Each structure stands twice: as C-alpha cells, then as structure tokens.
A = this chain, B = another copy of it.
Amino acid sequence: MGNRTYNFYAGPATLPLPALKRAQEELLDFQGTGMSVLEISHRSKEYDNLHNEATALVRELMSIPDDYKVLWLQGGASTQFFMVPINLQVSGKPMEYVDTGEWSSKAVKEAKLYGDVRIVASSADSKYSYIPRDIEFSPNAAFAHITGNNTIYGTEFQSLPDVPPDVPLVSDMSSNLMATVTDVREFGVIYAGAQKNLGPAGVTIVIIREDLLDRVPASVPTLQKWKTEAEKNSLFHTPPVFAIYICKLALEYWKEFGGVSKIEKVNREKAKILYDIIDKSDGFYKGHAREDSRSLMNVTFTLKGAELEEKCVKDGLSRGLVGLKGHRSVGGMRASIYNAMSIEGVRALSEFLEEFREQHQ
C-alpha cells in the first residue's frame, strides 16, 4: 500500500483500510458460500445475518433507543429531501427549515411541493459562513429540519437548536453521522447518505422514531413510505447488498477502534490541527466558516488569489494529497476529514500547508 493517497474529497470518501482489505480477501467467496457477496441472494441466510449485523452495529455505536427503527434505503439523501415531507407533513402545519447552504436549499425546494414551508433562519446573508443562533421553531410545526453539517461551506451545528415539545427534529447527517456522540432521543428522524462517514455510495441510512411512521397518507406509493421498509426490516425489495456489506465491515472497524466517543476525540484533534494552521498563518490561509460554526468534517479556506490556490491544490496532489479543491460556491480549498481520514493524513496535509506557506508568504 505504498502508493495509497490521502483522499480529502467531500464524498464519496476514504474508508478504513482494514475494511477494504477484508472485502478484497473474501470478494470471490463470501463465508465459504462459493459465491461473491456481489452475487448472494438477499433472501439467503448468509445475507440475512450480514444485514442484521450491520443494523445491530449502527444501533450499538449510536446507542439507538428501542423505539427507533434503522432503515437501509437507496437514492441518497437527495431522495430523502422529498421523502421527509411526504412522510412527516401534517395538513395545516408548516414544515420548518433552517437554511445553512446548498443542501438545505435543495431540501426546501422539494418540501415546497408538498405544503407550507417556513425558513425560520438563514445564513445566506453571509455566504453561509455561520450557523444561525437563537432559532425559533413554531410550536405547531409539522417538523423542524436542519442540515447537521454543511460540506460546501464547512459549517456545522455545534449544538442543537431548541425545538418545541412534540415537534420532531429532522437532521440531514450525511456528512456528520457518527462524527460526534449524538443523543438520538433529540431527533425524530436522522438521515444520511453513507458515502461520507459510513461506507460507499449507494446506500442511505434513515433512523426514525417509530410513532412517526404512521403519519404518512395511504395514497403514497409503496416505496415512498418509510413504513414499508420499516415493517420489512429494509427487505421489502432487494437492498443494495454490497454497499450494506461494506458499511458493516466499516462499522466493525469503528467498534474495534473504540466507538463514537473515540471517533469524536480523534475528529476534534484532526480539525484542531488544520484550524490551527489557518489561525496561525497570519492571513495566508483564510477560513471561510466563522469560528463558532466551524465544521469538524470539512475545513474550508481560501488563499490570496486563484492562481495561488490552484498551485496549492496541484502541489498537494503531487504529494499524494487528493481532492483539496474547494467547491465552486466558496472557491479556494476544502479538506474533508471524515471519520475514516486518519490523523496521519491530516498531519501530512498540515505539514504540506506549512511548507507551502513558508514558500509563498
């Protein structure tokens, strides 16, 4: 593995190497079945075990209470943008969203097709560089929606907003699932595309409080109801077998690693290393996110001028630091340091950034 690069892409993202090695070892013969896991029936007992183990690991690592269901779905978080309003809207009640960037806006766009949407707070006035404070959701809201972490702008809710009793909080945690210790009880629904913090692209996890499954009208198509897969342990139709398998291997790794509290500890160390580089660079590197809103997952920053930024990305690439170009909405650079990015990778990046600054300041 001498040539393994450090992958700072915003997602799909780096995965734990031991999980990849295990997948490679058993790719032609899954548990002595004489078949690849890419070929096994989703109705076989081997798959059933794998499926249930993956779910149990999510439950264990996130301490999910018994009255919450864990679903493995397809279609990415973008599909949840319409499934959330379909499943949670209540006639006559507003659906309330906090607008913290592009992903929130996309979620809002779909919700508007289903009823009255209220944007209760937004940081659009400042290029989404912060998470709004003192957010006030209505007591009669159907639900309250946030985007837990914003990959493009590099901002993250560092604490949850207050939500009135009986209003379920819904969070798109695609980019911060299992990144810090989460009290699932604070949420009605958590959804997350797997391809940043959990596994490969092609599977989406939805964690939902059971009582919320009954809101959906009968007239909704079968697979647009969370209830359908909730009642069938996510086996109503063929699940994305291999993607769930890779999640399971990664989850086994994280359990062995020390669980979410250990992941959080390392994530904080990793983020501190990079934000320190920015803060001590005397303006050479300029962070996009306001300090109180900084993401542990996506560190966004600009340099003086597009030419210098381009050189920085290119020089990084030549040192095996891949995917550092910022999103076009912010420009500059972005280091995505999800759970599976090692502290060694972050140190390699920080050393490079220091050298680059010394050369060009």
Cβ–Cβ contact B39 & A242, under 8 A: no
Cβ–Cβ contact B3 & A34, under 8 A: yes
A271 contacts which chain B residues (CB < 8 A)?
A: none
Q: Which of A192-233 contact B (CB under 8 A)?
A: 193, 195, 199-203, 219-224
A223 contacts which chain B residues (CB < 8 A)?
A: 75, 78-79, 81-82
* Contact A1:B15 (CB < 8 A) given known A202-B74, A221-B113: no
Q: Which residue of B lies closest to A228 (CB)?
A: B78
Cβ–Cβ contact B4 & A34, under 8 A: yes
Q: Which of A167-209 contact B (CB under 8 A)?
A: 193, 195, 199-203
A20 contacts which chain B residues (CB < 8 A)?
A: 27-28, 36, 38-39
**Counting CB contacts under 8 A, is A126 at the interface?**
no
Cβ–Cβ contact B14 & A222, under 8 A: no
Cβ–Cβ contact A222 & B109, under 8 A: yes
A306 contacts which chain B residues (CB < 8 A)?
A: none
Most buried by B among A1, A202, A243: A202
Cβ–Cβ contact B41 & A10, under 8 A: yes
Cβ–Cβ contact A320 & B24, under 8 A: no
A203 contacts which chain B residues (CB < 8 A)?
A: 202
Q: Which residue of B lies closest to A243 (CB)?
A: B202
A323 contacts which chain B residues (CB < 8 A)?
A: 41, 44
Cβ–Cβ contact B74 & A39, under 8 A: no
**Counting CB contacts under 8 A, is A120 at the interface?**
no
* Contact A322:B35 (CB < 8 A) given known A11-B41, A200-B242: yes
Q: How many residues does chain A have at the interface if contact means C-beta atoms less than 8 Å apart?
A: 68
Most buried by B among A41, A75, A199: A41
A263 to B75, CA, bound (A): 31
Cβ–Cβ contact A38 & B246, under 8 A: yes
A23 contacts which chain B residues (CB < 8 A)?
A: 27, 38
A110 contacts which chain B residues (CB < 8 A)?
A: 221-222
A7 contacts which chain B residues (CB < 8 A)?
A: 34-35, 39-40
The smallest C-beta distance from A201 to any residue of chain B, in angstroms, reads 5
**Counting CB contacts under 8 A, is A164 at the interface?**
no
A242 to B5, CA, bound (A): 19
**Counting CB contacts under 8 A, is A259 at the interface?**
no
Q: Which residue of B lies closest to A250 (CB)?
A: B38
Q: Which residue of B lies closest to A86 (CB)?
A: B221
**Interface flags, A300-331, vs B, CB<8A=1, else 0:** 00000000000000000000101100000000
Q: Which of B1, B39, B221 contacts A14 (CB 8 A)?
A: B39
A236 to B5, CA, bound (A): 27
Interface residues of A (CB under 8 A from B): 1, 3-5, 7, 9-15, 17, 20-21, 23-24, 27-29, 32-36, 38-44, 74-76, 78-79, 81-82, 106, 109-110, 113, 193, 195, 199-203, 219-224, 236-243, 246, 320, 322-323
- 10 A/B residue pairs, CB under 8 Å, sorted by A: A4-B28, A4-B34, A12-B42, A14-B39, A20-B28, A23-B38, A74-B76, A110-B221, A201-B239, A202-B241
Top 10 closest pairs, chain A to chain B, by CB: A202-B240, A5-B34, A82-B221, A9-B41, A74-B74, A24-B27, A78-B237, A38-B200, A74-B75, A201-B241
What would 6 more interface pairs be, CB under 8 Å, given A23-B27, A38-B200, A75-B75? A7-B34, A12-B241, A14-B39, A15-B38, A44-B323, A74-B74
